[in-house]
Amino acid sequence: MLSAGFFRSCRAHLVALLLLLQPLQVQAAMPDPIRIGVSGPFTGGSSPMGISMREGIRIATAEINASGGVLGRPFELVERDDEARNERGTLIAQEFIQREHVVAGLGIVNTGVALASQRHYQEARIPMLTAVATGSLITKQFLPPEHPDNFIFRVSANDTLQAKMIVEEAVLRRRFTRIAIFHDATNYGLLGRLDLQHALEEHNIRPVTVERFHLRQVDMTAQLQRARDAGAQVILTYGIGPELAQIANGMARMNWSVPLVGSWTLAMSNFIDNAGPNAEGARMPQTFIAEPTTPRRRAFLEAWRRATGTERIPVPPAAAQGYDSVLLLAAAIRQAGSTDGDRIRDALENLRNPVEGVIMTYDRPFSRDSHETFTASQHIHMGEVRKGLIVFAYDEDRRRAVRQ
């Protein structure tokens, strides 16, 4: 006859077994996450852009997951620092595809990294949404007839559009005719220089000098002296924050004051901080200026403050573009009803429902023939450094932003 102690022992063992099985049951009930690769420069001179972008991506992902994910599955970010190095970016793209099995890529800040690494996404037929890099060739690398399907999309203002705005600012609005171009030796700087020269040619203007500099170069005296000797009235720039600060500081040391007008990177925190008062008045195209001009933008700025503990965004356009890229990808996966790369690409090229982002409401932003969210300058504003902040250079741009 079995004793009461025996039954108590069995009951205790059964309870213990159920407790052990409970985590396994919960785990089995959880859906597999949708894995998304996020790469950018999170260290080094380009890191203000990369960190801003990454935080924007994280904020959007957290919001999507809090609302139930997409197709009932949470987004899971796989993040890697590409250090703004082409070879590193290439290795990361291969790792994402072969080992991490991502369904899409987001990010990439540097044009050279994009051109070197996005081939792997293309060959794997996995969509890549470039959130920051602006080189005009990025979305044109894999066009028909050689490549029937293009898997590279972009959520930033390409350099052809930016160069046109930069030249219009210098030539039409401010009436300068003697123009110097300063550019870095990267793919970004070289291609940006060409875009500036082409834009100037439309106004029958040739630059009085074109000056090249290297990353981490700290002395711009020779280049600046040549520009001053040539009678330059304005300097148009294509580079990133640290070297742009050297240009501004070099002019101050020479007691030479001409305006700086350049690409969106003049908004980088390491330009503003390193140049200090010498950054004042610099102007640049911006897809997003950190002012609460709409309820959507106010909510984003509040989310940034909650997530980071600070109001300052190192590079506001990078943060906003990263955020919006997640929303566009989520909309495409939702419409496709699948994480298959071809079906996501098809959905991106024909998004049926508008997507309300921070920068704009995206209404069919992509098509089979165009993988650029920005095809004109109506959503790009001219920013200016004032007292260490990026603000609207023109009140008309602020009024336009309120309506968008």
- Answer whether residue 41 shows pLDDT above 80: yes
pLDDT of residue 20: 52
Residue 258 has φ and ψ, to the nearest 5°, of -135, 155
Q: What beta strand segments (E) does 264-312 contain? A: 283-286
d(CA 31, CA 73) in angstroms, rounded, equals: 6
Tell me the per-residue pLDDT of 50-69, one tens digit each, with 9 for 90 and over.
999 999 999 999 999 999 99
Nearest to 180 by CA among 209, 216, 146: 209
In this predicted model, what pLDDT tens digit does every residue of 300-345 receive, in sequence order?
999 999 999 999 999 999 999 999 999 999 999 999 999 999 999 9
Per-residue pLDDT, 29: 61
Percentage with pLDDT > 90 across the chain: 89
Q: What is the pLDDT of residues 351-399, one digit of tens each?
A: 999 999 999 999 999 999 999 999 888 889 999 999 999 999 999 999 9
Q: Report the distance separating Cα 79 and Cα 314, nearest Å.
A: 19
Residue 27 one-letter amino acid = Q
Residue with tokens 């992509």: 366
**Mean pLDDT for the stretch of residues 74-94:** 98
Confidence at residue 378, expressed as pLDDT on a 0 to 100 scale: 82
pTM here? 0.90
Mean pLDDT, residues 163-191 taken together? 97
Taking only the tens place, the pLDDT of each residue in 228-269 is 999 999 999 999 999 999 999 999 999 999 999 999 999 999
Q: Where are the domains of the chain?
A: 34-157+291-373, 160-286+383-403
Q: Give the pLDDT confidence score for residue 24 in this predicted structure.
A: 46
Q: Do 160-286+383-403 and 34-157+291-373 have the same topology in CATH?
A: yes
- The answer to whether the CB of 163 falls within 8 A of the CB of 199 is yes
What percent of the chain is helix, strand and coil (3-state, nearest 5)? 50, 15, 35
Mean pLDDT in the chain? 93
Distance CA 16, CA 339 (A): 39
Bridge-based pairing of strands 355-356 and 179-184 is unpaired
Indicate whether 15 pLDDT > 70: no
d(CA 185, CA 355): 37
CATH placement of domain 160-286+383-403? 3.40.50.2300
**CATH 3.40.50.2300 for domain 34-157+291-373:** yes
